[in-house]
Structure 1
Amino acid sequence: MEKRAEIKVYGRVQKAGFRDFIDEIAFNLNINGYVKNLDDGAVQVVCEGDKDAISELLKKIDITQYPIRVENIDVVYKKPTGEYTTFELIRDEDLTTATYERMDVAARYIREINSNLGQKMDSIGGKIDVLGGKMDSLGGKMDSLGGKINFLGGKIDVLGNKIDQARVEITSEIRLSRDNFRFHLDERISTIERELSLIKAKVIP
């Protein structure tokens, strides 16, 4: 069922990349209309689309995620007019303000990439620990077999020790690589954010 929603969002929602965020969500949900800043500090969204898609839009934009903090959302539903064929981000401010906001958007995406990479690296570390546990279990079974077969026991113990040594070396190397990668990534992020701050300082008098 198609609906039209006229939305006003209040809070820390201007000069924070919020309209770009809404534009991306509307695109993914196949919603048409526009988003723009209002003189009273709010952000206005007028959109038409599937009722469930608009409900999903409202859920996704109700966020507190630095530098955005949504405090209140007013919605008025009306009959759709079909006047929109795409979703448009209306930029009516001066070039300096627009540049400042685009920098905030870039910084937000960089923080998200850093967070996602960190989570993936932690997941890899967990899988390595699980693998190490399985190798320990395998070593125990091989020791038991060695006790039952005296002739092969010595050889299996030697093999078990080599496996344990290899596991320790591999785990240590991967963890070191992960820590080094995270350190260099954090350092790069800090450098980029400092450069963005310098650019802002030069662009905005």
Structure 2
Amino acid sequence: MQKRAEIKVYGRVQKAGFRDFIDEIAFNLNLNGYVKNLDDGTVQVVCEGDEAAINELLKKINIVQYPIRVENIEVSYKNPTGEFKIFELIRDEDITTATYERMDAAARYIREMNSNLCQKMDFLGGKIDVLGGKMDSLGEKVDFLGGKIDVLGGKIDSLGGKIDVLGGRVDSFGGKIDVLGNKIDLARVEISSEIRISRDSLRSHLDGRISNIERELALIKSKVVT
């Protein structure tokens, strides 16, 4: 809903850059009208526009921020006339007073920028601290991982030792197999030799028996013939 608001602001509001501050807010809220100083030391604002925008303007100008101190705000609402096309800052004082006020406004902007910069630096510092904490945590994790790797290395060395021992046992077992094989080969040779000896002895024994039989037969034959 479109409305017209006639506002009067009391406090330390003149010669402090307050009108420039109101002009900027009204511009950003798309309000039309004007702001000016009154002879009684107050600031007058007349604006037309959306009701929500006017309410936002009232919230934003109700400040205590050096060198501005707002003590009270009076507001009366009327139907909009549409007479304003823009929002303007009316300066009806002498050039010296206007210059000093603009300087005050510039000083206030610089303080705001400095304050915002400090807040951003603090925020950045907080992030750096958090990052440092994460780096410390990461370092601890790396140390912990290094410890695990060392333990794993020890286990691998121990496993390697066990494998070496097992290899020695396998070699020893292989040696025993080789010895057994040698013994089997030797036994085979001994058995073969014994078989050969027995065969030769049997042949010799049979040859002797046959020779005796042949001699006996030859003797019998000679006796029969005679």
- Whole-Å Cα distance in 2 between the matches of residues 17 and 52 of structure 1? 25
Structure 1: 5+ residue stretches without partners? 154-205
Q: 2:43 matched to 1:43?
A: yes
> What amino acid sits opposite 1:76 in the alignment?
S
Runs of 4+ in 1 over 4 A off after TM superposition: none
The C-alpha deviation readout for 1:38-87, integer Å capped at 9, x for no partner, is: 11111111110000000000111111111111111111100000000100
Q: 2:95 matched to 1:95?
A: yes
Task: Give the number of aligned pairs.
Answer: 153
Q: CA deviation at 1:97?
A: 0.2
SS of aligned partner of 1:93:
coil
Partner of 1:25: 25
The C-alpha deviation readout for 1:160-201, integer Å capped at 9, x for no partner, is: xxxxxxxxxxxxxxxxxxxxxxxxxxxxxxxxxxxxxxxxxx
Q: CA deviation at 1:137?
A: 1.4
Greater helix fraction, Structure 1 or Structure 2: 2
Q: How does 1:1-205 map to 2 (within 5 A)?
A: 1-150=1-150
> What amino acid sits opposite 1:2 in the alignment?
Q
> What amino acid sits opposite 1:93 in the alignment?
E
Kept after mapping to 2: 8 A contact 1:35/1:89: yes
- Whole-Å Cα distance in 2 between the matches of residues 103 and 15 of structure 1? 10
Q: CA deviation at 1:130?
A: 1.1
Kept after mapping to 2: 8 A contact 1:146/1:152: no
Partner of 2:181: none
Q: CA deviation at 1:119?
A: 1.1
> What amino acid sits opposite 2:129 in the alignment?
D
> What amino acid sits opposite 2:106 in the alignment?
A
Over the matched positions of the two proteins, sequence identity in percent amounts to 84
Q: CA deviation at 1:101?
A: 0.3
- Whole-Å Cα distance in 2 between the matches of residues 128 and 152 of structure 1? 35
- Whole-Å Cα distance in 2 between the matches of residues 101 and 152 of structure 1? 75
- Whole-Å Cα distance in 1 between the matches of residues 149 and 68 of structure 2? 67
Q: CA deviation at 1:146?
A: 2.0
Q: CA deviation at 1:124?
A: 1.5
Q: CA deviation at 1:152?
A: 8.6
- Whole-Å Cα distance in 2 between the matches of residues 68 and 38 of structure 1? 16
The C-alpha deviation readout for 1:106-130, integer Å capped at 9, x for no partner, is: 1101111111111111111111111
SS of aligned partner of 2:103:
helix
- Whole-Å Cα distance in 2 between the matches of residues 137 and 6 of structure 1? 60
SS of aligned partner of 1:142:
helix
Structure 2: 5+ residue stretches without partners? 154-226
TM-score, with length taken from structure 2: 0.65
Kept after mapping to 2: 8 A contact 1:9/1:43: yes
**Pairwise CA RMSD:** 1.4
Are residues 152 and 122 of structure 1, via their aligned partners in 2, closer, same or farther at CA, if it must alter by over 3 Å? Answer: farther
Q: CA deviation at 1:151?
A: 8.2
> What amino acid sits opposite 2:39 in the alignment?
D
